[in-house]
Amino acid sequence: MKRLLALIVLLASGFALSAAAQTLPAPAAAAPAGPAKIAVIAFQMAVVQTNEGQRAFADLQKKYAPKEAELKAASDEIETLTKQLQAQADTLNDTQKAAKAKTLDDKKKKAQRELEDAKTELAQEEGDIYNSLSSKVGDVMISYVEQQGYTLLLDYAQQQSPVLFAQPATDVTKAVIDAYNVKSGVPAPPPAAAGAAPAAPKPAAPKPAAH
């Protein structure tokens, strides 16, 4: 059984990105006409890697650790019972085989239900945390790009991003993370907690299109 907490990849789904996009505020006023100043960002990564994001998802991981252990124990028990039934196939009569097979099947169904319930609950909590935080990070992001005089900001981490190439200097992901950390006042997590906190996969930097 795969680790339950690997489901954090929900943050990388189109649903999460779409929900975040719907919450981002629009600039207060149209930018003045003039040369375009363009920046790029990996918005999803910015949200998850803020100090507040790392803390929130680390806490969620701790919350679901007992359930993960419970599901692992159930999986181990099912595997043991399956091997026992296979090993005893020649020594059990049909009635005994049927009884053991039913017990095993009942345990499998129960474990599957509990796994699906845990997935649903975890996905809901992940989404709630991400959507709430993405709205706040979005506010800081818009303020930052306006203050820096950018006229266009593109999210290169989206699956259908139009960005084919960008100079590293135009990537404001870290700057937005730093700005949000200052505003939130949430301290950086200790090294061990930071390493354990689940995070969205870091997107690759935009590269030139092949010719």
**CA-CA distance, 32 to 27, in Å (whole number)?**
12
- Exposed/middle/buried for 18, CB within 10 Å: 0-12, 13-18, 19+? exposed
The predicted-structure confidence for 64-115, as pLDDT tens digits, reads as follows 999 999 999 999 999 999 999 999 888 989 999 899 999 999 999 999 999 9
**CA-CA distance, 22 to 42, in Å (whole number)?**
16
**CA-CA distance, 159 to 143, in Å (whole number)?**
25
pLDDT cut 70: percent of the chain above it:
74
Residues 6+ apart with CB under 8 A from 197: 54, 55, 57, 58, 61, 189
pLDDT at 192 over 80: no
Is 20 domain-assigned?
no
Task: Write the DSSP symbol of residue 148.
Answer: T
**pLDDT-derived band of residue 22, with 50, 70 and 90 as boundaries?**
very low
Is 202 domain-assigned?
no
- 3 phi and psi, to 5 degrees? -60, 130
Is 207 domain-assigned?
no
The predicted-structure confidence for 30-72, as pLDDT tens digits, reads as follows 545 567 899 999 999 999 999 999 999 999 999 999 999 999 9
* Domain range enclosing 110: 37-188
Q: What is the pTM of this model?
A: 0.71
**CA-CA distance, 146 to 138, in Å (whole number)?**
12
* Alpha-helix residue ranges (DSSP H) falling in the chain: 14-23, 43-49, 51-87, 94-147, 173-184, 191-196
Closest to 203 measured CA to CA, from 49, 63, 75? 49
For residues 172-198, average pLDDT: 83
For residues 11-37, average pLDDT: 50
Is 13 domain-assigned?
no
Is 175 domain-assigned?
yes
| Beta-bridge partner residues of 195 | none
The pLDDT value recorded for residue 90 is 87
Domains in the chain: how many in total?
A: 1
Whether residue 179 contacts residue 140, with contact meaning beta carbons closer than 8 Å, is answered with: yes
Is 30 domain-assigned?
no
Is 22 domain-assigned?
no
Is 25 domain-assigned?
no
Closest to 7 measured CA to CA, from 52, 67, 55? 67
| Alpha-carbon distances of 199 from 49, 56, 85, 202, rounded to whole Å | 7, 11, 41, 8
- We report the CATH number of the domain holding residue 144 as 3.30.910.20
